[in-house]
Amino acid sequence: MSEAVKVSDVGKRYGSFELQGIDFSVRQGFITGLIGPNGSGKSTLIRMMMQMVRPDSGSIELFGHRLAGESAQLRERIGYVSDENYFYDHLTIKRMKKILSPFYGSWDEEKFRGYLERFELSENKKIKELSKGMKMKFSLAVALSHSADLLIMDEPTAGLDPVFRRELLDLLTEEIQDDTRSILFSSHITNDLDRIADYIVFVNKGRLVFDETKDDVLERHVLVKGGKELLDDDVRGLFTGIRETDVGFEGLVSDRAAAQRAFGDLALLERPSLEEIVYFTSKGAAAYV
């Protein structure tokens, strides 16, 4: 399988924050979700792919080319959507587009107009008059209008209402219909875009937790709920993360079969959501540090 992005053993240090030994791929033709709590290193990893930050160690490959120095050609093949506003506030959408479009050899004006209409954006509006969600839509329209091979979206659902978030799912699945394009999005809210994600890369506190298909992740984890009398030190050791209260406990076990052997019918075993996996994994790590 070909890889749009390959991150190998990447490290980066910023003061007390450290990314360490990060390995993962964005596979061609698939949607990959980069998830983790705030401050886990997601945005830094994305900035590295965009060549805005250089790793201290390890390497990053885009479309099979190792990143070294500036490479505008590689960047042109990426559509980038960020929650940070990198447009000029005082310009209208029309003027801003005029500045941006010449950077892309394959700019498709018709497609861009189609998106403006679909997103109900008026090209005479000034950037500063746009709401957060509208800025995100404009950013998305630009990213989708130059036949990018890879779409990278940093927290794309921030500021979008639920109606448009659903619409975004349709837009993105349309983009990968021909199986040559790839999508990477980062998010700390995992319950909307993860519907369509094929692979999940989970980072926590600067470390990689896993890079797996979403189906495998959801199948191998199990949420266990039961009475406190079931817990002893051995049993606690099974959990990735656990929350104990006066009336029982709930916790995440990353090996479903082991949980079934240990608890049988004594506890409730449920399928966790990705959000629960993120919650208990980051909580558990904090408890053991």
Residue 160: CB minimum distance to other proteins, A: 16
Strand 78-81, strand 150-154: pairing: parallel
- Cα angle 148, 64, 170 (rounded to 5 degrees) comes to 30
CB nearer to other proteins: give 26 or 93: 26
Find the binder of other proteins among 174, 261, 266, 286 (CB under 8 A): 174
- From residue 5, give the alpha-carbon distance in Å to each of 8, 42, 183, 257: 10, 14, 10, 33
Residue 248: CB minimum distance to other proteins, A: 21
Q: How many whole angstroms separate alpha carbon 236 and alpha carbon 191?
A: 28
Find the binder of other proteins among 26, 31, 81, 140 (CB under 8 A): 31
User: Which part of the chain contacts other proteins (CB under 8 A), choosing from 56-64, 167-175, 201-209, 242-250?
Assistant: 167-175
CB nearer to other proteins: give 16 or 177: 177
Residue 245 tokens read as: 């209260």
Q: Is the dihedral of CA 189, 205, 197, 60 positive or negative?
A: positive
CB nearer to other proteins: give 76 or 275: 275
- Cα angle 78, 83, 88 (rounded to 5 degrees) comes to 85
What phi and psi, each to the nearest 5 degrees, are found at residue 155? Answer: 50, 55
Residue whose pair of structure tokens reads 């709590």 in the numeric block: 37
Buried b (16+ CB within 10 A) or exposed e, 208-226: bbbbbebeebbeebbbbeb
Residue whose pair of structure tokens reads 């190998």 in the numeric block: 8
Does 196 interact with other proteins (rule: CB under 8 A)? yes
Find the binder of other proteins among 195, 207, 243, 256 (CB under 8 A): 195
User: Which part of the chain contacts other proteins (CB under 8 A), choosing from 4-12, 15-23, 170-178, 281-289?
Assistant: 170-178
CB nearer to other proteins: give 223 or 235: 223
Strand 57-62, strand 3-14: pairing: antiparallel
Per-residue binding string, other proteins, 140-159, x by CB under 8 A, is --------------------
Does 215 interact with other proteins (rule: CB under 8 A)? yes
Find the binder of other proteins among 213, 231, 262, 285 (CB under 8 A): 213
Does 179 interact with other proteins (rule: CB under 8 A)? yes
Does 89 interact with other proteins (rule: CB under 8 A)? no
Interface ranges with other proteins (CB under 8 A): 29-31, 166, 169-170, 173-174, 176-177, 179, 195-199, 213-215, 219, 270-271
